[in-house]
Structure 1
Amino acid sequence: MENLTIDLSILPNKAQHELYDFYQFLVYKYTSKPQPEKINITEVVPRRVNPFEPLKRESVYDR
């Protein structure tokens, strides 16, 4: 698409500001954003732990 020129001076100030805000939104939406950093899979995958040994009820309530 060719470069376009839009004459905003024929619009009221409020409409000009709305168009400018919308333009900024479109620029933000369609410009390239930096890619997120790669995640190390070992940080995400659960690690092995020793099996849990249940506590005995008596030992929990001993004082």
Structure 2
Amino acid sequence: MKALVGKRVVLDLTPAADTATARGKLLGTIDAADGLVLIIEPDEAPATRRSIHSHHVKNARPI
């Protein structure tokens, strides 16, 4: 997933996440004690940030 930093992505999320997908620019990652955290700028809310734990991501692909 770190290879996608700086790119626009679609994240397919698990049912435990609050939405089925997340779409936006992957701004960076944080190595947390419980795994990798992805920071995205969502397409639907420019200039905001959303954090998503990698264990909620089923698939990540560039768009």
TM-score range, shorter chain: under 0.3
Which structure is richer in relative contact order (CA contacts within 8 A, separation 6 or more)?
2
User: Which entry has the higher C-alpha Rg, 1 or 2?
Assistant: 1
TM-score (ref. length: structure 2): 0.15
Q: Which has the larger share of helix?
A: 1
TM-score (ref. length: structure 1): 0.15
